[in-house]
Structure formats: C-alpha cells, structure tokens
Structure 1
Amino acid sequence: MTEVLDGLRDLQPVFRERAQEAEDRRVLSAESIKSLEETGFFRLLQPKLFGGLEADPMDFYTGVRIISSACGSTGWVSSVVGVHPWQLALFPAQAQQDVWGSDINTRMSSSYAPTGKAQPVEGGFRLSGKWSFSSGCDHATWVLLGGMVFGEDGKPVDFRTFLVPAPDYEIKDVWNTVGLRGTGSNDIIVQDAFVPEYRSLSINDTAKCACPGHEVNGGALYKLPWGSIFPYAISIPVVGMAYGAYDAHVAHQRERVRVAYLGQKSAEDPFAQVRVAEASSELDAAWLQLEHNMGELMQHANAGTKVPMSVRLRVRRDQVRATGRAINAIDRLFENSGARVLASGTPIQRFWRDAHAGRVHAINDPERALSMFGQGEFGVPFTDAWV
C-alpha cells in the first residue's frame, strides 16, 4: 500500500491549493475526486473480489490523515466515502454485484440517522424520507441510508441500512455552513422507492459481526466491528486537520514577529514553545492510541477470535478522546497564532473551523462513548449498537 500513500503525499500540495476553492464552491472538484481514485485510495477497504486492495485498515486511516492535513473538506469526504466499500462488503453478494459489477470505481455516499421509514413489502421494502449530511453525495451514484423498519402495527421492528441507486433519490442543495464547507453534505430525498431485501443490512448483524457478505468476503478485514471501523472514519479526519494546523502554525510562527514584545520573534517566545509542545503531545498521544487499538482489533480478526466487548468499548473511548485531543491541540495553536490568521483564506482558521465542524458529528460525542465505557467497567448493561 506504500504506492497509494506515496501518491496521496504527492497530492498534498494540490489539495492545499484547492482548499479555498472547495470552500467557496461548497463541494470538492471532480478533479480532486478523480486524482484520489487514480491513487487507489477508494479501493483500500474494497474486497479483492471486486478489484479492491483489502488493505490493513490503518493504511486507509493513514491516508485519511495525509489528505486531511492538506484540506479538511477533502479529508472528510475521502474518509466517509472511502469507508463505504468496507460496509458494502458486508451486504449480500448480489448487492455488491449491483454496485461494482460494471465499474469497480463506483462510489457511495451515506446518511445513517434513521430519519426515513421503511415498510416491509413482498421481496423488500418501500422507503421514503429525507436524510441530511450526505457528504460527497455529488460524487456518488449510490447512497447508504439508515431507516427504521415498521411492522403492521406501526411499531419499529428493525434498524437497517438501505442501499439506494441514484435514480431513486434526489439531492437537495442545503449545505451552507461555517465549517467543512467543501464537503457538499446535502440532503437526500427518497419518495416511495422499492429496495430489494438483499440491498439492506440489519444493525443486528453488524453488531454481532455476522453479516451476509462474509460468505464471499471472508478476510480478516471484514470481521471487524462496524462500531469501530466507522467511528474511526469520523475521528481521524479531525486528527488530520489538527496535524495540518500544527504544520501551518509552526511555519507561521517561525516568521512571525510579536510587535507587542518589542520585536521579539514568536519562535523565541517560551510560552509559544510550550504551547507547541503541548499540542504536539496531544496529537501524538491520540494517534498512538488509535494505532494500538486498531492493531489489537486486527490481531483478533486474523486469529479468528471474537473481539471482547471490553476492547470494543476501549476503542470507542479512545476514538472520541482522539477527537477531543485534536480539538484541544488546534484550539491551543489557534489562540497562539495571532490576529493575522483570522483573514479569509488562511489555513489555520480554516482547519480550526473544519475541525470544530467535524467534532459535532454524533459519533464524536464524547459523553455517550465514555459513559458506555464506564457502564462496561461497572458491569451496567447497555444496548448501544455503536460499539
């Protein structure tokens, strides 16, 4: 996978140059998506059965960090869209054939909050509703949508992810935000679309790591918990943005002169030096925990052993802590950068806004994940499937 990561590093200057354009246009350029596709990035988590690389997940997440440290919006879309091949590999084989059978580079966007309704019918479901925050949807021709399945009595009987092709949904342009402006995270509208049974996946199956796709994709990569893989894809872009802000801050401080201190260079300010050290430590600690935990998950997957719930809870604990550490670091850097970084177009303020926008995603909610960990430690039952 070295070639893929080297290709992403070569693209960093391009993504930095396009960051303001993406923000102004509120969507990534087709050129940026195409260049990512050409590196093989989107196929890192895709099964070999359909031309994928079935890479170690940390290769994928390292790629996300590389991209995000150049442009937050590009990193966010890359991560979210890039993790979807892993989830599709859990669907029945026919669903995978529908998406990749004629083009292995077909992409999917998503919106998992169960804001729509699915009514069981013969052979599948009738799906309707509105879903928000579908990042990268303009560069996808399928979408993964979360929805509650309701029985004849009107009560929910299941929570499933539905795979829907572009002709069956509409994209509504609503994305006007202060952060992650370039992600094009617009609304998806579905009106009474038929979804075959095989194009859906129950959250019960993903929670148990026992999915229909395992019949054709038996590699260790696909034995990992969904509640670990997807949250990483939401946390690591924020960590990458903080690394990008760190690099931009260090470069800025090396040249900055603090007039208030009689011409003293900021690089010579001991307080500035301490803040850089604190921010650097926060980021390195976050990354080391993320690497360690994913490595432990893969050890279980490779050995064919069940991942203990204590490990799954720790993974979620450290995932939200990684986001928190990244936010702490970027805040420390931002407050130490001086008023000039407030100007539109400067990278530090963009990283600061993008990181805080990523922080508000539900997966990055620290209290929920930390509370689950505490419940596990104290032996208190919990029913959250996001673990």
Structure 2
Amino acid sequence: MTITENLLNAVRDIEPIIRQYAPEAERERKLSAPVAEAMHRTGLYRMWRPKAFGGYELDPVSGFRIIEAVSRIDSAAGWNLQIAVAHDLFAPWFDDSAAAEIFHADAIPVGAFNPARKAVPVAGGYRISGRTSYVSGAHHATAFIGFANVHDDGELRLDDDGNAVTKIIAVPASEAEIVDNWNTMGMRGSGSHDVAMQDVFIPEHWTAPWRPLQQPGDAYTGRFTA
C-alpha cells in the first residue's frame, strides 16, 4: 500500500472525529483540538515535509487528494490542513539548522504575510513586532511564518533600488498572542484570527532574505526541486 493510500485510509479512520467536532469549530470559531490532534497523530500535517524531518515527501497531486478528502468531511478542517502544509513549502528558504528546528516532525507551521512585521537587528538576531490578520489555524500552531521589514534606528532599511529589505521569518507560537477577532458568518471554524507579537527575539538563522530561491537546504532536494 502506498503512502497516499495509507493517508487516505487515515482520513477515513478519523472521519467520525472530524464530523463530531465540526459544529464545535463553527461555534468556537477555531478548529477543535481533537480534530487537530487527530490530523497530527495520523501524519497529515507531514505530507509535504521532507523525510529527513519525519515527513512523507508526497507529490502535489497526492497531497491535493488528501486535502480534498478532509474537505469533503468538513471545510474548516480541510482549510486548516492546507494552510499548514502550504507553509511547509517556505522551509527551503531557511538554512539547514533552522529548517530542522522549525519544521520538525511535530511542527504545525501556519502564518500570514501582510502587513509585514517589523524586524529590529540586535545581537544574535532580531526583535520582531507587528500584527498580522487572517492567520488560519493559529490555535494549534507551533510556529508562525511571515514577512518582516528590517528597521535601523527607527527607519525602514532600503535596498539599492529603494525597496524595503524584507526577511521571511519564523516565530515560536508560544511567543505570540492570538487576537480573538474572527467574527464572521462563514468559515468560522477556520479560526482565522489576528496574531500579534511585541519585541519577540528570534535568532538570525530563523530569518532568510525574501528573494527567488536559488539554493534550497539539503533536505529539500529530489522531489522538492524536480
């Protein structure tokens, strides 16, 4: 049996849990913990993670089949799953040590990218501040991925072309605050609240220049670069 078939069987196994807690997700405006735990336990969050980090390195179409299978059961669960696995695709921008620390086997990386946060250089890394909207799955995240513009002495750092110097960053979820403001009529279970952080330190290697990817990390070869 292939990995894809195993994961599709896993979706069928946890279908009763997803269905049971779908009304709670709509009522509480976030994916329920038992559903997130079931998707984590069965490895769904690792479908596009490299084998070096405990993932399955599935091809895109196989991944889409699994997301589709979850979404047929509950749209909020499918939305949260696709958001998390999509953020795995930003891992190749980070160096090998950061990728291993951020995208480990138990990781659930989520995020949003606008507006960009503020990054202030300090010894060993950056202090990150800012508030970003529409962070689906925030309550079950292990890290928040996003953009940050570098500031020096209160001024935005610009490159030679006059553009903001932007980094892709990761911030531990434990260092951020979820702002309870996802009050909508539809997709309530996606839990797409704002996330705020204030003067949070992250090490230098948890950032990377945001530019076209030239050389991915060692774990991101083969299927990921084909």
TM bucket (normalised to shorter chain) is 0.7 to 0.9
Matches within 5 A, 1:343-382: none
Matched, 1:44 2:51: no
The corresponding residue for 2:110 is 109
- What percent identity do the matched residue pairs reach? 32
**What is the DSSP-based 3-state SS (H/G/I as helix, E as strand, rest coil) of the residue aligned with 2:165?**
strand
In the alignment, residue 58 of structure 1 is paired with which amino acid? V
Matched, 1:214 2:217: yes
The corresponding residue for 2:187 is 180
* Contact 2:102 2:170 survives alignment (8 Å): no
Larger % of helix: which? 1
- Which of 199, 207, 211 does residue 192 from structure 1 map onto? 199
The corresponding residue for 2:59 is 56
Matches within 5 A, 1:223-262: 223=225
Q: How many residues get paired?
A: 217
Matched, 1:23 2:26: yes
* Contact 2:46 2:54 survives alignment (8 Å): yes
* Contact 1:118 1:149 survives alignment (8 Å): yes
Shift of 1:20: 2.0
* Contact 2:150 2:156 survives alignment (8 Å): no
Shift of 1:22: 1.2
1:175-213: CA deviation from partner (whole Å, max 9, x where unpaired): 111111012112211111222221113220xxx3324x4
The corresponding residue for 2:84 is 81
Larger % of strand: which? 2
Greater CA radius of gyration, 1 or 2?
1
**Structure 2 unaligned runs (5+)?**
159-163
- Which of 7, 11, 23 does residue 8 from structure 1 map onto? 11
**What is the DSSP-based 3-state SS (H/G/I as helix, E as strand, rest coil) of the residue aligned with 2:133?**
strand
In the alignment, residue 108 of structure 1 is paired with which amino acid? P
In the alignment, residue 60 of structure 1 is paired with which amino acid? G
**What is the DSSP-based 3-state SS (H/G/I as helix, E as strand, rest coil) of the residue aligned with 1:201?**
strand
Matched, 1:93 2:96: yes
Regions of 4+ moved over 4 Å: none
* Contact 1:28 1:182 survives alignment (8 Å): yes
* Contact 1:46 1:89 survives alignment (8 Å): no
**Structure 1 unaligned runs (5+)?**
224-300, 302-387
**What is the DSSP-based 3-state SS (H/G/I as helix, E as strand, rest coil) of the residue aligned with 2:48?**
coil
Shift of 1:13: 4.9
The corresponding residue for 2:151 is 150
Shift of 1:96: 2.3
Alpha-carbon separation, structure 2, partners of 1:89 and 1:43: 15
Alpha-carbon separation, structure 2, partners of 1:197 and 1:100: 17
Alpha-carbon separation, structure 2, partners of 1:128 and 1:84: 20
The two structures have a TM-score, normalised by structure 1, of: 0.52
Q: Relative to 1, partners in 2 of residues 1:180 and 1:143: Cα closer, same or farther, differing over 3 Å? A: same
